[in-house]
Structure 1
Amino acid sequence: MSNRSASTASVTIPVQIDQTEKNVSKEIGQDPASAPDPFQVFLEPTEHPQNLSSLRKWLAVIVISSSALCATSASSIASFTEIAVAEEFHVSHVVTILSISLFVEGLGVGPLLVGPLSEVYGRNIVYQVSYTLFFAFSWPVAFAPNIAVYLIFRFVTGLCGSAFLSVAGGSVSDLFSDANVASPMALYTISPFIGPVLGPLISGFINQNLYWRWTYRVQLMWIFAQYLALFLFVPETYVPVLRKRKAERLRKSTGELRYYAPLEKSDRSLFVAVLVSCYKPFQLILFDQMALLLDVWSALILGILYLTFQAFPIIFESGHGFNMQSAGLTFLGIGFGMMLAISTQPLWNRHFLRQRQKFEGSPPPETRLIMGQVGAILVPVGLYWLAFTTYPHVHWMVPIIASVPFGSGIYFVFTSTFTYLVTAYRPIAASAMASNSALRSIFAAVFPLFAGAMYSKLGTVGATALLAGLTTIMAPLPFVFYRIGHRLRQSSRFAVH
């Protein structure tokens, strides 16, 4: 992105416009090659965000990804505070579990609002305002005088941190071309799922040695560091907004008021955009079976991941005598599995390149489900292995190793599902992702609430085996859709044909 001054002496519409600018312009109905209006503003190649230096682009991706990591780790960082919070505020343990559930609900609801905002005001202002509010509203959590304030602001902070689950993927795709986006997108994709695994690890260390409120005080420090990094290292990347800003500079510097960007001519109100973003995802769930089943599958797996924040303390504290600090470290197995999975990304990149060549540049969306097929096998295998090694007489390292394939499977399932939804429902990709986010947030919020009762009634073996059975039932989905997905898309009113 160019930061050149607005005081340019003379202005002409550039003849050379890069391919990315053409593609973006076509998406919003403005093709620079055919536009006769000399006052319509386009970006020069040097002004396009994809032409920033590799260092600036990767630094922006790292900051965005670490901000997503911070926001999602805040969801599970409450896991080892629950007993102390229950004692201080004189409530039951189930009530304090709501601190995780409400935060996750905030993460699920927020994208319905911030998605349309980012398409009107740009990515960067959404990030900055989001983290400003995330930081401000984390103070009432850290210094809550009662359980009501604590729970209300847990929901509010989840709402504020949700921008990095809906807008951030757009920033990554803004910065990199289709041919180069896979690796940075893989880094961003893994961050929101490493976050919930990192939360209990941090929380375990803090609550083993300090008062529970220090959990949120440490989190405040991290949020503030991310807040500064967002201001310093992340540029605006949304091309329609960059064109709008350029038009404003030109009108000011030249006095010619006829310069404009297409975004300024849009007659679509923000209210309508928010309304569409609210009802379209649910319309997709209700009337498209393929989207519904894939959303339920990924939601079930995320629900199980959040359920482990209650299950692992039962397995390792009660069964193996671990303290909080050691129990937090048991989540490293899931995290290691995720990192192991992301390390295979170069192999998948080569596979998808071969698919592009095979289908002459336009492979069907179903090719993305191959990664999901691997995940569909690994998730139940990991859970069955975990289930039958939770006995106290089995060495504690064995169930931790069992969680490694579970973590790898999570990454493969989500990466596959996300890329499939975006490509198969390209005209309404934002709504497809929002529908997935809404279901995932519901499952992730509800599952921890019944974890204690389920493990108490069924035991660690029976409860974990039940979860493994549910994922086994859903496992055929990527195999089935790989075979018949094309036919289902032909009859869908939302998917590309």
Structure 2
Amino acid sequence: MDTLRESSLGDFLRLVSRNQWLRHPEEKPDFVVPPQYAGQLPLTTAQTNVSDDTDAPATTETTKKGGIPHATLAANAVIVTWYGDNDPANPQNWSLPKKLWVLFVIMFYTFAVYVGSAIFAYAVYDAAEYFDVSVTLATINVTLFVVGYALGPLVLAPLSEVASIGRNPPYIVSLAIFCILQVPTALSTNFAGLCVLRFLAGFVGSPPLATGGASITDIFSPQKAGYGIGIYGIAAGVAPALAPSISGFAVIRFGWRWAFWELLIMSGAGLVCLFVGLPETSADNILYRRAQRLRKLTGNEFLRSEAELAEAEKSFASVMQEALVRPIVMTLTEPIILAINLYVGLTYAILYSYLESYPVVFAEGYGWNLGLAGLPFLAITVGGLVSYVVYCLWSYYSWEPKFVAAKGELAPEAYLPLSLYGAFCYPICLFWFAWTANRTSWVSPTIATGIFGLADCWSFMPFLNYLAFAYPRYAASALASNDFVRSLMGAAMPIVSRPLFHNLGVDWGNSLLAFITILFIPIPFVLVKYGPWLRSRSRMAEKYESDNVPRKSEGAAV
């Protein structure tokens, strides 16, 4: 019942019943107000009329609205927080089944959107014939979708950090629009219109790609969050790989439009799960609404949540700076972020190059139909699952004991050991795929694809954890920067790789990518060795006592 009450459906039912259904504890007759909140007197008329400028009388409008000058509120505020360490409203205290349910919903939501990036990849042939354009031009629809979800988080993701909004409204509204857009996309008869709709779908579908990890860290402790982030990363990583398998046979039987009907079915199912069964996970939003209920119950206008009080000081300009300016500035001025963004972006570039090389290898080379040609992509899923098992074992037996010993103050470089092995997996899988495809049995290049699943998992998860702990004060901006860069790098590949493989061939085309990955191998090694030194010279990165480097005086952060 608590899960339903805390979901968007629960909010709707409470609204139509005027809070008579699914009541919160503060709305029940037998609720006893905690002493720390009951002891304060309600705001008096004299206090209401106090202005920030003590020499200036309060305006009649302010008095009518019951407005409180910020200086008065800040000086007298009573901070509303949890009712104790075991408060069931605290997402960290939810039961394990409830946490796993939330994790599943976030994963399914992310999967449904990420599938949309590549679900059109094998439909481009049929669509190119329908719209009478080249296959390369038709492929731009894959690129535009990815560009959309590169730009979307810069605008939409920060909304989930606002205490008065929370995580769920951006999720629900954006996914509802995403579902609606699939209908005109599937019915499109104009190529330009199709391109615009694909970009818009990517843009509005982007929130889980940037804030899904934040929802997971809302409910899991820092010691256990890595397991949730890991499986979430698997869902995001395998979705583009599974897309050709999902759409291939339907496109062959019913045409290119069915790729979008399938996407509508999956995203629609995700929308139902979100609306009916996803409780709000933002602690700031939960406490914000609790403070509202307590103010209504006690009449004490000084009861405020901490985030609510802090937001009263924020201007629109500062919000826009955090949303748009800071991620870009961090990309350009923080060597750690730039290096990781380029490295993770390279993994996306390789993944989307695979989308274009598979039809060349398995359809043209081995003579399979497009439906069968997408099935070897399942090897990435197998590789990802194997790598996740290894990641969990490493976390449990190696990382967690160090985290506990450090009392939660473990330096972020401790997250990176698996990335050292992942760095070598990329050239191995690319060279293997390049020189066995169409020369040996189809099994060999398929196994090579599975190694990419290992590389992807062992890079994606450690680096995202590293960013979050190296820049805890600006984690949202750091992750938004990473999402932006990696998506743009991945977006370019569907257009570039097709002529690349046809001009150089699958062998030398993939070998060229493999040589590039060799150039990137030193990045995780440099971060492991020199990460503490780089963080010590940063204005934004966190410093740890175990870094053992002289600390540079911190300047003002952007």
Q: C-alpha deviations, 1:331-372, integer Å up to 9, x for none?
A: 011121111111223212121023325545422211111111
> How far off its partner does 1:38 sit?
7.2
**Structure 1 37/13 Cα, relative in aligned 2: closer, same or farther at 3 Å?**
farther
Distance in 2, Cα, partners of 1:331 & 1:59: 27
Q: CA RMSD in A?
A: 1.9
Counterpart of 2:402 in structure 1: which amino acid?
A: Q
> How far off its partner does 1:100 sit?
0.8
C-alpha contact 1:379 1:407 (8 A) present in aligned 2: no
* Partner in structure 1 of residue 386 of structure 2: 340
Q: State the identity as a percent.
A: 31
Q: C-alpha deviations, 1:137-180, integer Å up to 9, x for none?
A: 12111111211111111111111111111111111111111222
Matching residue within 530, 539, 543 for 1:493:
539
Distance in 2, Cα, partners of 1:151 & 1:360: 51
C-alpha contact 1:114 1:166 (8 A) present in aligned 2: no
* Partner in structure 1 of residue 319 of structure 2: 273
Aligned: 1:455 with 2:494? no
> How far off its partner does 1:13 sit?
4.9
**Structure 1 359/254 Cα, relative in aligned 2: closer, same or farther at 3 Å?**
closer
Distance in 1, Cα, partners of 2:102 & 2:359: 36
What residue ranges of structure 2 are gaps of 5+ in the alignment? 7-23, 38-73, 544-558
Q: Secondary structure at the match of 1:413?
A: helix
Counterpart of 1:77 in structure 2: which amino acid?
A: I
Aligned: 1:470 with 2:509? no
**Structure 1 177/36 Cα, relative in aligned 2: closer, same or farther at 3 Å?**
farther
Q: C-alpha deviations, 1:181-202, integer Å up to 9, x for none?
A: 2222222121111111111111
Matching residue within 355, 362, 387 for 2:409:
362
Counterpart of 1:244 in structure 2: which amino acid?
A: Y
Distance in 1, Cα, partners of 2:285 & 2:426: 41
Matching residue within 185, 206, 209 for 1:141:
185
Distance in 1, Cα, partners of 2:98 & 2:35: 27
Q: Map 1:41-440 to 2 at 5 A.
A: 41-44=80-83, 45-120=87-162, 121-265=165-309, 266=311, 267-349=313-395, 350-357=397-404, 359=406, 361-390=408-437, 392-440=438-486
TM, length-normalised to structure 1? 0.92
**Structure 1 81/39 Cα, relative in aligned 2: closer, same or farther at 3 Å?**
same
Distance in 1, Cα, partners of 2:301 & 2:402: 49
Q: Secondary structure at the match of 1:40?
A: strand
Aligned: 1:11 with 2:50? no
Q: Secondary structure at the match of 1:331?
A: helix
C-alpha contact 2:387 2:454 (8 A) present in aligned 1: yes
Distance in 2, Cα, partners of 1:446 & 1:190: 22
C-alpha contact 2:26 2:297 (8 A) present in aligned 1: no
Number of equivalences: 477
When structure 1 is superposed on structure 2, of 461-470 and 181-190 the one drifting more is 181-190
**Structure 1 140/271 Cα, relative in aligned 2: closer, same or farther at 3 Å?**
farther
C-alpha contact 1:294 1:417 (8 A) present in aligned 2: yes
Q: Secondary structure at the match of 1:495?
A: coil
**Higher Rg of the two aligned structures:** 2
Q: Secondary structure at the match of 2:430?
A: helix
C-alpha contact 2:415 2:466 (8 A) present in aligned 1: yes
C-alpha contact 2:229 2:461 (8 A) present in aligned 1: no
Distance in 2, Cα, partners of 1:260 & 1:297: 43
Q: C-alpha deviations, 1:18-58, integer Å up to 9, x for none?
A: xxxxxxxxxxxxxxxxx996732112222211222221111
Q: Secondary structure at the match of 1:356?
A: helix
What residue ranges of structure 1 are gaps of 5+ in the alignment? 16-34
Counterpart of 2:133 in structure 1: which amino acid?
A: V
Q: C-alpha deviations, 1:73-111, integer Å up to 9, x for none?
A: 110000011011111112221221111111111111111
Q: Secondary structure at the match of 2:402?
A: helix
Distance in 2, Cα, partners of 1:52 & 1:381: 43
Matching residue within 79, 96, 111 for 1:40:
79
Q: Secondary structure at the match of 2:363?
A: helix
Distance in 1, Cα, partners of 2:413 & 2:95: 34
**Structure 1 271/147 Cα, relative in aligned 2: closer, same or farther at 3 Å?**
farther
Distance in 2, Cα, partners of 1:416 & 1:404: 19
Counterpart of 1:11 in structure 2: which amino acid?
A: V
> How far off its partner does 1:472 sit?
0.9
Distance in 1, Cα, partners of 2:36 & 2:106: 32
> How far off its partner does 1:293 sit?
1.3
**Structure 1 358/177 Cα, relative in aligned 2: closer, same or farther at 3 Å?**
closer
Q: Secondary structure at the match of 1:388?
A: helix
Distance in 2, Cα, partners of 1:181 & 1:365: 14
